[in-house]
Structure 1
Amino acid sequence: MNSSGLNNKSINNTGSDPLKQQVVSITYEEIGLFPRSFNRVFDRFFKQLFFDVENLVIQEYRFYRYLFLTTVKCVFILLFVPLTVNFIAKNYFVRPITEYYWNTHQTEIFLNSYQQKRAFNELKNFEEKIYFESLILSNPDIFLNSKDLNSSEQKIINFENIDKNKKFSDIFAKSIQNSLQTETIELAKHYNEESIEAITNFFADLISLSTLFILLLRLEIQLNITKSFLLEVFFGLDDSKKSLCLLFVTDLLVGYHSPNIWELFFSSIFDRYGLPESQTTIFLLVATLPVLLDVLFKYLIFRHLNRASPATVATYHAMIE
């Protein structure tokens, strides 16, 4: 389909408002042989020669105001509507259903074996801590070594200390048993809640993604306007600022200087959904995904930006080198 067909289609969708027709037609503008800034400069020059300048300024102001307001509205909807849906679905729909099913229709506490191993390790560490404390507190020697006491007095004191040690040992053994039982119950509650939270996060995020996908389909025209406005702002910068923006994005997100950010990101994802946190898997993802994104980003620069603004591409490569 050619560009004229796309423009006619967009005008039919917007009705008879000439301002909206002009906005939507720009959203389908493709990158040509020359930068669009050249075309805009010549267009303004001829309009200033043959048309009313005051009306031209007013129309241009209204045009860019409409672009800006539409962009803000579109970004606001795409950000806050899925987050609001996630919050409502998670707290009022998904979590009550998950808690009811998990606590009544099955006897499992752990979502997977990874959580079970973590719980056993925590319980083992607690037992070692209790055992260490028992070695310190279970031997309260209160024997008197005074030379002034005769043998009968020392025997009486020894019997009293043995009786005290026996009572202390019984009390301490019961205390250890109660502590282990309390810690086991607390661990069971914690990991049961963690399993419910992981299942809730999965379904709530799935609903949010579905909402975002529906919004992307319903707001197609607004998204084209937003893309056009952002490209307008980007190409309005000079070459050094555009290159600096590109360099910042590549180094921060897809560059080789931020592996710790990617490790933290994948660890958070695994923890959020209760997945086994394998360091090998995380290192493999960190080693492959940023490289793929870097290749894709460079392809987009070569495919589009090299035609629209060759000076920016040259400045970008110069900054890299």
Structure 2
Amino acid sequence: MKNSLSRTAKLLRKNFQKYLRSLNRWLSDTPERALSEAYQAAQRIKNIELEHFDNKKISSHSVNYTENVMSYWQVYLNKNLTIIKFRLAEFQLSRGIINISNPVLLEKLKVIDEVVEKYAIKYETINELPLSSTYQPLNIKEKEIKKKLKIPNIDEIKVKPPTQQTGETPSSIGRKINKIQTDLAPQTEEEFITNYRISKSRTIIALKFLIVLIIVPLLTQTLSKEFIVFPILERVRGDNVTKIFLNSDMEKEALHELHKFQEGLRFEYLLNQVPSLSSEIVQEKIKSKAVEISEEFQIKSNSNISNVFADLISLFSFGIVIAISKREILILKSFIDTIVYGLSDSAKAFLIILFTDIFVGFHSPDGWEVLLSVFAEHLGLPASRNVIFLFIATFPVILNTIFKYWIFRYLSRLSPSALATLKEMDE
């Protein structure tokens, strides 16, 4: 059995080493691979310019195409510019880790820079308007719309909460007349379609970015733990028996399992389910079970230590996503503000009471205790009840104070009716 385990361990170690070498080669080739993909996307754009736009910029001003044809080429352009954007970001990030020097890369960068500079303004427009739609009922000129809407850029649109809107009362005759005039104006339909496209584009960007914020840290934590941290940690720690347990709780759990196994053997013997065993056979079974438990807890200890480093790597990846996504963060904030301010006063009060009761309510200490115990087990730390109770006695109190200050400071100004509803529901 020991020889079988040894051969299995050697085979796993060999496979891990092979995978690490291939992973190292993949990482070392990342800058050139990313730049090559960006260069190929730039070449595709230049080929389209040469074949269909008389070697000019991909635009309706270059050639006389129909709206559907231009929509097709704009989607194609948007796709390749997006590839260039992400591959250049990958190239810059990997180049900071891996030093490379290749004159061919400089030539590729020159070609890419030419395309990026040519479509700098158009690229922003394509990223912010949903050009993937081939249905365009009206021929809308972007400059005229921005002039009429008086907005220089889509990013400057600020969602104004309903509670902050000012103006005459809804029953005002003058306001009704102005609304009728606005509805009958010739540019109203164009403005409505433009605002709808902008809102749709912002919603898609916000939802995609929200998914990225969730998936990237989880995926990074899992992959870095399974393929990088855990194999390295197994090689460093080895089969050192003195480093099986990280804390006393793990040791107590292992002893409890061994004691339970012994009691199980005795129970089976007393029920005459197994024949009488000699003390040597019993000791051999107990020793085999102890080795099995030690191997199990050694893997568990390595896994807990790996969680610490994998979590740090995941946190670092999350920080990188936040650092390179300032525009997406603003769009996501605007999207959340629109949803929150669009709720009714009763819904706002309900959500506030729900969150406060979960985190700082009467039953919240039990939830905090479970969360802290799971977190301590995840990192391989002893679940000290004194530390947990001290945290429960301080942090929810601070959180409750922050909630009350926010309600007093901001909610009373943003939504007085929601505050009144909240007080009535509390009473």
Give, in angstroms, the shift of residue 174 of structure 1: 2.2
Give, in angstroms, the shift of residue 294 of structure 1: 2.1
- Alignment of 1:254 with 2:360, yes or no, is yes
User: Which string of whole-angstrom CA distances, capped at 9 and with x for unpartnered residues, describes residues 17-76 of structure 1?
Assistant: 86995442245x798xx933447x98x959927772111211221121122112101101
TM-score by length of 1: 0.74
Q: Which residue of 2 aligns with 1:35?
A: 163
Counterpart CA distance in 2 for 1:113 and 1:202 is 19
Counterpart CA distance in 2 for 1:80 and 1:257 is 31
For 2:357, give the aligned amino acid. Answer: D
- 1:68 touches 1:229 (CA, 8 Å); kept in 2? yes
- Alignment of 1:79 with 2:214, yes or no, is yes
User: Which string of whole-angstrom CA distances, capped at 9 and with x for unpartnered residues, describes residues 76-103 of structure 1?
Assistant: 1111111111121111111111111111
Counterpart CA distance in 1 for 2:348 and 2:256 is 52
Counterpart CA distance in 2 for 1:241 and 1:60 is 27
- 1:270 touches 1:277 (CA, 8 Å); kept in 2? yes
Q: Which residue of 2 aligns with 1:117?
A: 252
Give, in angstroms, the shift of residue 107 of structure 1: 4.9
* Aligned equivalent of 1:103, options 238, 245, 256: 238
Q: Report the CA distance shift for 1:209/1:45 in structure 2 as closer, same or farther (over 3 A).
A: farther
Counterpart CA distance in 1 for 2:226 and 2:180 is 59
For 2:163, give the aligned amino acid. Answer: P
Q: Which residue of 2 aligns with 1:143?
A: none
Q: Report the CA distance shift for 1:314/1:263 in structure 2 as closer, same or farther (over 3 A).
A: same
Counterpart CA distance in 2 for 1:26 and 1:209 is 31
Higher relative contact order (CA 8 A, sep 6+): 1
Counterpart CA distance in 2 for 1:25 and 1:304 is 24
Counterpart CA distance in 2 for 1:92 and 1:240 is 49
Q: Which residue of 2 aligns with 1:223?
A: 329
Paired residues in the alignment total 275
For 2:156, give the aligned amino acid. Answer: S
Q: Where in structure 1 are there 5+ consecutive unaligned residues?
A: 1-11, 138-167
Counterpart CA distance in 1 for 2:377 and 2:181 is 59
Counterpart CA distance in 1 for 2:322 and 2:380 is 29
Q: Which residue of 1 aligns with 2:386?
A: 280
* Aligned equivalent of 1:292, options 398, 401, 418: 398
Q: Which residue of 1 aligns with 2:223?
A: 88
User: Which string of whole-angstrom CA distances, capped at 9 and with x for unpartnered residues, describes residues 207-253 of structure 1?
Assistant: 11111112122212211221111111111122111111211222223
Q: Which residue of 2 aligns with 1:68?
A: 203
For 1:100, give the aligned amino acid. Answer: R
TM-score by length of 2: 0.57
Q: Where in structure 2 are there 5+ consecutive unaligned residues?
A: 1-120, 129-145
- Percent identity over paired residues: 33
What secondary structure does 2:362 align onto? coil
Q: Which residue of 1 aligns with 2:57?
A: none
Q: Report the CA distance shift for 1:306/1:256 in structure 2 as closer, same or farther (over 3 A).
A: same
* Aligned equivalent of 2:182, options 36, 39, 48: 48
User: Which string of whole-angstrom CA distances, capped at 9 and with x for unpartnered residues, describes residues 137-166 of structure 1?
Assistant: 6xxxxxxxxxxxxxxxxxxxxxxxxxxxxx
- Alignment of 1:24 with 2:130, yes or no, is no
User: Which string of whole-angstrom CA distances, capped at 9 and with x for unpartnered residues, describes residues 239-271 of structure 1?
Assistant: 111111211222223322333222221111011
Q: Report the CA distance shift for 1:22/1:257 in structure 2 as closer, same or farther (over 3 A).
A: farther
- 1:263 touches 1:286 (CA, 8 Å); kept in 2? yes
Specify the structure having the higher radius of gyration (Cα).
Answer: 1
Q: Report the CA distance shift for 1:257/1:47 in structure 2 as closer, same or farther (over 3 A).
A: farther
- 1:23 touches 1:67 (CA, 8 Å); kept in 2? no
For 1:291, give the aligned amino acid. Answer: V
Q: Which residue of 2 aligns with 1:150?
A: none
For 1:173, give the aligned amino acid. Answer: S
Give, in angstroms, the shift of residue 130 of structure 1: 4.5
Counterpart CA distance in 2 for 1:54 and 1:203 is 55
After superposition, the CA RMSD in angstroms is 3.4
